């Protein structure tokens, strides 16, 4: 009888462990094969080399500096890795996981109010949504919550498709993040071809 109870307990523990493992998506890996960690600085670099540099803040405004937009360093003889970022999971965790929401912000001070990424309004001429750094993240808004997905080639894409944490949360118009060139500036936008990135620890 005791042996039967022990066997049943082992089977239950095995099933519970298997169920828990299935509920946690795999971690996003950096260029060295290590999980992306919350609060650690990383450079976001193109997965395809010889295209441009890393992601950084770009000024698109005439006369006004703020808000700043998320863009990409241009291709140059010495390619810049851009400005490092910090990822913060929406739900308490120590690593960044595939398909799980997080906020992302550039490190270092600027003259603008915030360096946290957010989704801006749709451009009526191009039907794209720019990603910019405008205000500090609002926990009740989905505009700041991004996630990372792996494409068919095993490379990582940014996506804006926030997970609803309440039953009344309306599903947003999801989009993959890609690069467009406007006025010789490379900008990160939604609603276009996805652009793959890698993450290198700063």
pLDDT of 144-169, one tens digit each? 899 999 998 899 999 998 776 655 56
Q: Which of 53-62, 122-131, 167-176 has the lowest mean pLDDT?
A: 167-176
Cα distances (Å, whole numbers) of residue 55 to 167, 179, 196 = 35, 10, 12
CA distance linking residue 58 with residue 187, whole number of Å: 8
The answer to whether residue 80 sits within a structural domain is yes
The answer to whether residue 10 sits within a structural domain is no
CATH of the domain at 106: 2.80.10.50
- pLDDT at position 47, please? 93
The answer to whether residue 153 sits within a structural domain is yes
Regarding predicted confidence, which is higher, 141 or 69? Answer: 69
- pLDDT at position 193, please? 86
The answer to whether residue 15 sits within a structural domain is no
Mean pLDDT confidence for 12-16 = 47
Confidence band, pLDDT 50/70/90 cuts, at residue 28? very high
Q: What angle do CA 112, 97, 104 make, to 5 degrees?
A: 0
Confidence band, pLDDT 50/70/90 cuts, at residue 21? very low
Q: Which of 19-23, 50-54, 134-138 has the lowest mean pLDDT?
A: 19-23
Asked if residue 96 lies in contact with residue 27, where contact means CB atoms within 8 angstroms, the answer is yes
CA distance linking residue 51 with residue 46, whole number of Å: 7
- pLDDT at position 134, please? 73
- pLDDT at position 146, please? 94
The answer to whether residue 117 sits within a structural domain is yes
The answer to whether residue 67 sits within a structural domain is yes
Quick one: which of 27, 45, 40 has its CA closest to 188? 45
CA distance linking residue 28 with residue 169, whole number of Å: 26
Confidence band, pLDDT 50/70/90 cuts, at residue 44? very high
- pLDDT at position 168, please? 58
Quick one: which of 95, 46, 24 has its CA closest to 200? 46
The answer to whether residue 154 sits within a structural domain is yes
Averaged pLDDT of the chain = 83
Per the structure, the complete domain to which residue 176 belongs is given by: 27-201
The answer to whether residue 192 sits within a structural domain is yes
**Number of structural domains in the chain:** 1
Mean pLDDT confidence for 33-46 = 97
- pLDDT at position 113, please? 74
- Tell me what percent of the residues of the chain surpass a pLDDT of 70: 83
pLDDT of 46-95, one tens digit each? 998 777 899 999 988 766 788 889 999 988 878 899 999 999 999 889 99
CA distance linking residue 189 with residue 197, whole number of Å: 14
Confidence band, pLDDT 50/70/90 cuts, at residue 143? confident
């Amino acid at each position: 009888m005791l042996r039967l109870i022990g066997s049943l307990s082992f089977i239950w523990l095995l099933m519970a462990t298997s169920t828990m493992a299935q509920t946690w998506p795999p971690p996003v890996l950096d260029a060295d094969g290590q999980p992306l960690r919350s609060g650690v600085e990383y450079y976001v670099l193109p997965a395809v080399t010889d295209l441009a540099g890393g992601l950084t803040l770009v000024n698109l405004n005439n006369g006004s500096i703020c808000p700043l937009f998320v863009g990409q360093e241009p291709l140059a003889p010495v390619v810049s890795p851009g400005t490092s970022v910090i990822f913060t999971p929406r739900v308490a965790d120590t690593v960044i996981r595939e398909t799980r929401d997080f906020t992302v912000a550039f490190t270092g001070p600027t003259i603008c109010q915030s360096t946290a990424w957010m989704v801006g309004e749709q451009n009526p001429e191009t039907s794209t949504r720019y990603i910019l750094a405008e205000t500090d993240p609002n926990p009740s808004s989905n505009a700041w919550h991004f996630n990372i997905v792996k494409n068919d080639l095993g490379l990582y894409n940014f996506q804006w498709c926030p997970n609803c944490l309440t039953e009344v949360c309306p599903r947003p118009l999801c989009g993959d993040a890609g690069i467009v060139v406007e006025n010789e500036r490379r900008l990160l936008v939604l609603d276009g071809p996805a652009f793959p990135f890698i993450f290198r620890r700063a």
